[in-house]
Amino acid sequence: MTSFVPPLTRLVLALCCLVSLAVAAPAQTLHEINRANGFHEMLMAIGPGFIAAVKSAPETPPQKIQDALAAAMEGAFDANKMEAAIEARMADKLPARDLSDLASFYASPLGKHVTALEIQASTAEERQRKTIEGPKILRELPSRDPARLALYKKLLEDLSAVDTGEAVALNMGYAMLSEMLGAAGKPLPDDQIMALLRQRSEGLRHDIETDVMASVAYIYRDLPLDDLRLYQTFLISPAGSHYYDQMQVALGAVMTDEARSFGHRFFVALGYRKA
Q: Is residue 67 part of a domain?
A: yes
Tally of structural domains, the chain: 1
pLDDT, tens digit, for every residue of 228-263? Answer: 999 999 999 999 999 989 998 999 899 889 988 888
Q: Is residue 213 part of a domain?
A: yes
Please give the distance of CA 158 from its chain centroid, rounded to a whole number: 17
pLDDT, tens digit, for every residue of 150-166? Answer: 999 999 998 888 888 88
How many angstroms separate the CA atoms of 84 and 38, rounded?
A: 15
How many angstroms separate the CA atoms of 82 and 89, rounded?
A: 11
Q: Is residue 155 part of a domain?
A: yes
Among 95, 121, 112, 126, CA closest to 242 = 95
Q: Is residue 221 part of a domain?
A: yes
Alpha helices in 93-187 (DSSP H): 96-106, 109-120, 124-144, 146-158, 161-183
How many angstroms separate the CA atoms of 172 and 166, rounded?
A: 10
pLDDT of 225 > 50? The answer is: yes
pLDDT, tens digit, for every residue of 108-140? Answer: 899 889 988 988 888 878 888 999 999 999 999
pLDDT of 227 > 70? The answer is: yes
Q: What is the DSSP letter of 59?
A: S
Among 141, 165, 164, CA closest to 153 = 141
Among 216, 184, 164, 180, CA closest to 12 = 164
Q: Is residue 123 part of a domain?
A: yes
Give the per-residue pLDDT at 20.
53
Give the per-residue pLDDT at 3.
33
Q: Which domain holds residue 30?
A: 2-270
Q: Is residue 275 part of a domain?
A: no
Give the per-residue pLDDT at 236.
92
pLDDT, tens digit, for every residue of 29-42? Answer: 888 877 777 788 88
Positive or negative, the CA dihedral 67, 72, 77, 80 is: positive
Among 241, 235, 22, 239, CA closest to 110 = 235
Higher pLDDT, 226 or 181: 226
pTM of the model: 0.77
Please give the distance of CA 106 from its chain centroid, rounded to a whole number: 22
Q: Is residue 89 part of a domain?
A: yes
Q: What is the DSSP letter of 4?
A: G
The answer to whether 13 and 204 are in contact (CB under 8 A) is yes
Q: Which residues make Cβ contacts (< 8 Å) with residue 211, sequence separation at least 6?
A: 13, 17
Residue type, 83: E
